[in-house]
C-alpha cells in the first residue's frame, strides 16, 4: 500500500473553531489546518482580524462565537488575557460548551484551571501558549518550527496537548499550573523589555548621528543574545564587568546631554547597570571595591 501524504487523511482529525482571529489565533488555526484538521469557523470583528482570517484561513466561514463553539470539536480561544475568564464563564452559563469538546486557550498567564466553568460542562481543558512574538502573517508559520509552547493540562489529557503542539511543528514544554505566572513573567521580561531596551539604544545612536543604527547594532546584539543564552552571566562584557566606573560616568553624562528625549533611557540605563553589577558581584566576577565604585557612579547626580 502507498503511504498517505495528505494530512487530512491522518486519524483523529478534528473540526476546529477559532475564537479570535488576532495575530495568534489566525496563525495557529492555519497551522492546525496544515496538520489536517478542518477549521469549521472563525470569529472576527475588526477589519484587521477579518483580513487575517481571509489571508490565513481562506474559505472558513466567519461566525458569531456561539456558532463557532457549536460547530467545533476543538475550540481554540486566542483573545486578551483579561477577557478569557469572562468569555469562558459566560458561555458556560448559556450551556454552550459540549461534553468531550477540546477547549484550548493560548494565554501565557493562565493555566488550564481558568477553563473550569467549561470543564463543569464536560469540556477538556488545555493551555497552549506559544513562546513567540507574532506578526499575524504567514511568516509566523515557518517560525513555529523553532518555537516552544508552554503546555499545561490535567495529567490524563496532557499527551493530547503535547500532540497538538507537535502537529503544529513546535516543541511542547510542560509548565506546572501553579507556575504559569512566573513562566509568563519570565517571557515578558525577556522579550517585551528587550524591545524597549533595543529601541532606546537605537534612539541614542540616532542622536549620535548614525544613519542606520539597526545595521550597527544587529551583529552586536545577535552575538550578545547567543552568548548569554549559552553562558548566562559568564557572557558579560563591558564596563560593568571591568569595574570601569569612569566609563559608566561618561555614559550617564552623554545620555543626560540628549535632554528630555533621553530621560527614560537614563533611568533604564541606571537600573540595568545596577542589576548587572549586582549579578556580577554575586557571581564573583566583580570585586567588592569595584562594585562600590560603580554603584557610587550610578547614584551620583550632575555636579557631584
Q: Do both 160 and 20 map to the same domain?
A: yes
Q: Do 96 and 149 touch, CB atoms closer than 8 A?
A: no
pLDDT at 3 over 80: no
Question: 2 pLDDT band (50/70/90 cuts)?
Answer: very low
pLDDT of residue 1: 40
Cα angle 14-17-19, degrees, rounded to a multiple of 5: 150
Q: Is residue 216 pLDDT above 80, yes or no?
A: yes
What is the rounded CA–CA span in Å between residue 79 and residue 107?
8
pLDDT at 304 over 80: no
Each residue's pLDDT tens digit, 232-270: 999 999 999 899 999 999 999 999 999 887 889 999 999
Asked if 35 and 74 touch (Cβ cutoff 8 Å), the reply is no
CATH number of the domain residue 122 falls in? 3.40.50.720
Sort strands 124-130 and 102-105 into parallel, antiparallel or unpaired. parallel
**pLDDT (0 to 100) of residue 261:** 78
50 and 171, same domain (yes or no): yes
**Average of per-residue pLDDT across 182-186:** 96
Cell of 53: 482570517
| 211 pLDDT above the threshold of 50 | yes
Which of 122, 147, 175 corresponds to the end of one domain?
175
pLDDT of residue 9: 66
Distance CA 287, CA 294 (A): 11
Does residue 242 share a domain with residue 132?
Answer: no
Residues 150 and 115 placed together within one structural domain of the fold: yes
Q: How many domains does the chain have?
A: 2
Whether 136 and 58 map to the same domain: the answer is: yes
Of 154, 155, 151, give the one whose Cα is nearest residue 131.
151
Q: Which residues contact 18 (CB under 8 A, 6 or more apart)?
A: 25, 26, 28, 29, 39, 41, 42, 43, 57, 60, 68, 76, 78
Asked whether residue 210 falls in the same domain as residue 74, the answer is no
The end-to-end CA distance of the chain, in Å, is 83
State the residue for C-alpha cell 550578545. Answer: 224
Residue 1 lies in a domain: no
Same domain, 102 and 237: no
Tell me the average pLDDT across 14-21. Answer: 96
Q: Is 70 exceeded by the pLDDT of residue 127?
A: yes
User: Over 90: is that where the pLDDT of 5 sits?
Assistant: no
Q: Same domain, yes or no, for 48 and 25?
A: yes
Question: Which residues form the domain of 278?
Answer: 183-299
- Closest CA relative to residue 119, chosen from 156, 168, 172, 148: 156
Residue 2: inside a domain, yes or no?
no
| pLDDT at 284 > cutoff 90 | no
Domain co-membership, 153 together with 11: yes
Amino acid at each position: 500500500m502507498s503511504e498517505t501524504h495528505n494530512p487530512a487523511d491522518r486519524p483523529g482529525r478534528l473540526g476546529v473553531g477559532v475564537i479570535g482571529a488576532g495575530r495568534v489565533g489566525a496563525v495557529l488555526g492555519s497551522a492546525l489546518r496544515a496538520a489536517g484538521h478542518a477549521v469549521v469557523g472563525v470569529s472576527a470583528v475588526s477589519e484587521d482580524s477579518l483580513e487575517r482570517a481571509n489571508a490565513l484561513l481562506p474559505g472558513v466561514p466567519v461566525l458569531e462565537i456561539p456558532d463557532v463553539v457549536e460547530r467545533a470539536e476543538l475550540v481554540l480561544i486566542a483573545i486578551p488575557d483579561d477577557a478569557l475568564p469572562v468569555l469562558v464563564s459566560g458561555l458556560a452559563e448559556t450551556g454552550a460548551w459540549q461534553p468531550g469538546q477540546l477547549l484550548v486557550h493560548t494565554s501565557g498567564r493562565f493555566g488550564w484551571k481558568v477553563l473550569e466553568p467549561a470543564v463543569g460542562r464536560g469540556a477538556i481543558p488545555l493551555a497552549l501558549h506559544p513562546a513567540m512574538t507574532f506578526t499575524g502573517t504567514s511568516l509566523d508559520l515557518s517560525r513555529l518550527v523553532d518555537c516552544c509552547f508552554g503546555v499545561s493540562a490535567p495529567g490524563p489529557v496532557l499527551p493530547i496537548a503535547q500532540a497538538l503542539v507537535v502537529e503544529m511543528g513546535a516543541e511542547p514544554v510542560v509548565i506546572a499550573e501553579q507556575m504559569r505566572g512566573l513562566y509568563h513573567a519570565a517571557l515578558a521580561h525577556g522579550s517585551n523589555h528587550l524591545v524597549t531596551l533595543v529601541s532606546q539604544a537605537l534612539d541614542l545612536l540616532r542622536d549620535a548621528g548614525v544613519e542606520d543604527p539597526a545595521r550597527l547594532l544587529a551583529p552586536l546584539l545577535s552575538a550578545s543574545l547567543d552568548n548569554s543564552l549559552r553562558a548566562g552571566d559568564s557572557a558579560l562584557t563591558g564596563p560593568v564587568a571591568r569595574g570601569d566606573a569612569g566609563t559608566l560616568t561618561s555614559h550617564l553624562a552623554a545620555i543626560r546631554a540628549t535632554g528630555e528625549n533621553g530621560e527614560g533611557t537614563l533611568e533604564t540605563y541606571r537600573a540595568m547597570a545596577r542589576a548587572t553589577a549586582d549579578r556580577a558581584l554575586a557571581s564573583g566576577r566583580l570585586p567588592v571595591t569595584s562594585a562600590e565604585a560603580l554603584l557610587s557612579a550610578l547614584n551620583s547626580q550632575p555636579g557631584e
